[in-house]
Amino acid sequence: MAEQKNEKVKKSNTTSWVIGIIVIILVALGAYYYYFSIPSAVVPVITPPAFSGNVENLRMLEFTYLPPTVTVSVGTMVNWTNGDKVPSDVVSNDGLFNSGSMATGVSYNYVFTTAGTYDYHSSLHPTMKGKIIVQ
């Protein structure tokens, strides 16, 4: 009788392990499908209509600012649009601007009124870095 109970417990433990592994595989496949099935390059860049000066449109795509370095004239509005599938942000290294967390498709803009070099980064993705050179 005790032997039959031990066999049932062993089968139950084995079944639990198999079900657990299947669940992990399904979750991993779902995450993979979600991340790689949505085309991120399709996100449109929308320029705010209220600004009448020069506008430079940048994208955040595949955890990179594109282009990473831009030269603009004083008074130019730089517009960043998040084309990644995850939230991102734009934070100047000197604290001048900070977009806060931006969902996919969200844009943030900043008008550069003073000549200089402005380095920026993502606080959410440390490898993302960019530079605006204002002349």
Q: Where in the chain are the domains?
A: 2-37, 41-134
pLDDT digits (tens, 9 = 90+) for 19-46: 888 888 887 777 666 655 555 555 555 5
- The CATH architecture to which 41-134 belongs is Sandwich (2.60)
**CB contact at 8 A, 120 and 130:** yes
Does the pTM exceed 0.75? no
pLDDT digits (tens, 9 = 90+) for 59-92: 999 999 999 999 999 999 999 999 999 999 999 9
**CB contact at 8 A, 83 and 108:** no
Over its C-alpha atoms, the chain yields an Rg (Å, rounded) of 24
Q: What are the C-alpha distances in Å from 53 to residues 37, 90, 96, 111? A: 37, 21, 20, 9
